[in-house]
Copies of this chain bind each other. A is one copy, B any other.
């Protein structure tokens, strides 16, 4: 089982908390790391956020998120690239080394073209990421988000894109919710040796209550979390394990209660 030294609280899991409240929560509950979201950082301002994070002593496992590369016009694609360059700077200012990429929605109906735009987008931002010491973590999303969130839908796809770049620059974020069903899951994780930049946990309840807000707390679904975690360990990833849950029922609970349950389930299930 993973121990709490590897636990990272992805702040979306208590969506009602501000950045300050989330950091205080980590300190109060002895959680060593946090995954940050750009909108929560903006709500406080980047400089203030960076100071607050540093003062808290809580490590930043990643910043969510860059990506969103495909668009039907060249101008719009260029805007997205510029936004990614800013995200890289923000990640550096916040003291993390990983920017998570949610690669983006289908442009029009051209799935192959959209996938090429993702490769082009990563190529466009990779030099700046290198310069700032930021690694780009391609997170394949579940295929149910292929049209509106990420045309990158499998570990194989993410691995093949990452392989075009140096392992120091571009890797893959493994989120169990998105990939648990993959018939090639364990072979793919094995092939990601040296390329895993993050590992996200949650669970897949049956029935799934919704498309975006469907995932739940570890232990309340069908994902073989411990088995996947062991495979990720064997692939050489020893970094933080983020708990990232979008779920209205969990969002409606008191943050401290969620953090307590999260810690317990992390120890029991991951």
Contacts and interface: CB of A to CB of B under 8 A. Distances in A.
Interface stretch (A79-87, A126-134, A144-152): A144-152
A89 interface: no
Most buried by B among A111, A142, A148, A153: A111
Interface residues of A, number: 31
A144 B144 contact: yes
Interface in A209-251: 210-211, 221-224
Interface in A141-200: 142-144, 146-148, 153-154, 156-157, 180-183
A1 interface: no
A68 interface: no
Nearest to A183: B157
Nearest to A115: B183
A221 B106 CA distance: 12
Copies of this chain, count: 2
Contacts of A224: 109-111
Contacts of A223: 109
A208 B207 contact: no
Contacts of A206: 105-106, 147-148
A143 B181 contact: yes
Contacts of A180: 111, 146
Most buried by B among A109, A143, A223: A143
A81 B8 CA distance: 46
Interface string A92-112: 000000000000011011110
Contact of A153 (B110, B115, B183, B222): B183
A222 B143 contact: no
Nearest to A181: B146
B143 A144 contact: yes
12 contacts: A109-B223, A109-B224, A142-B143, A142-B144, A143-B144, A143-B181, A146-B180, A146-B181, A147-B206, A147-B221, A148-B206, A148-B208
